[in-house]
Structure 1
């Protein structure tokens, strides 16, 4: 499939498929969130048991850990159901760079078989003309302090004063290089790892 990027001197636009359940960045976020959720659940249950109970014993700690394990298992299970059943391991994003802002619009793409959607990094998809539900995001270039690239994943992170403002997924090396060049034209500083 050839690249679907459209570029003029001031604008750039492309569609890309983003894996969900096999995407290392999303899995990393999910892992970190699970550890934080587990820790908070254990601490909260132990504090509640200490506050309302008369004494602490090993049974209280075991029950707190068991509750946290079930809670994390439920959240991970819900993630897997959403990632692989509701969105067969992908969603589609339209990215557009304009002189004032970077724009992204996430939408549910056409149904692929699960086998076709098993990617670990962004992949090419055809442009979507009609879509029902979507989530949009605009980031003003003036709010972007720097950007960071992840070459192996074809991902660009736009960073602001309070962290990552937008993840930009590119379907191939060509679009990725065009997007990096466009951002560099905005005279935004690049952070090297």
Structure 2
């Protein structure tokens, strides 16, 4: 850190509530100030406000607000999720007249080595009102639900992301299909990777 600060034209501090409360924040800012290196505090989250210890340390500093749009690829992590269902015909009808077994799923592509639970906290699955219960909450991987039935219908899905991503819930509608062995679509979600 010392070498970087001493040889810097300026020190940019990307301020978040978590960073300002870390031991490194105070240490880095005070050291830069001692070395007379200009400090450029940058607000990257609109909800961030300086804590009480920080205000006296930077009394003359102006806080730059960085608005990084979703169109910018800098600081954005794009993840692809597969939303869909599998289907297989039952060899005989159930007592309720069901002819098919299906599994609705939300999963990463097979090439993705990240744990899906790094991103997804919970999924609310709203089934047809004839299912009991019609609302199923999936809160761990694998994010899937298997049922038997006889007809196709629209499934409403609300995906909640892990808190640290600060991403709003995503609502998706999936048309359950009983014509193919597997059917899915790719859904791309962008996360701010600098938070």
TM bucket by the smaller chain? under 0.3
Return the index of the structure with the highest Cα Rg. Answer: 2
TM-score when scaled to structure 1? 0.26
- Which is helix-richer, 1 or 2? 1
Higher strand share: 2
Instruction: Specify which structure has the bigger relative contact order, considering alpha-carbon pairs within 8 angstroms and separated by 6 or more residues.
Output: 1
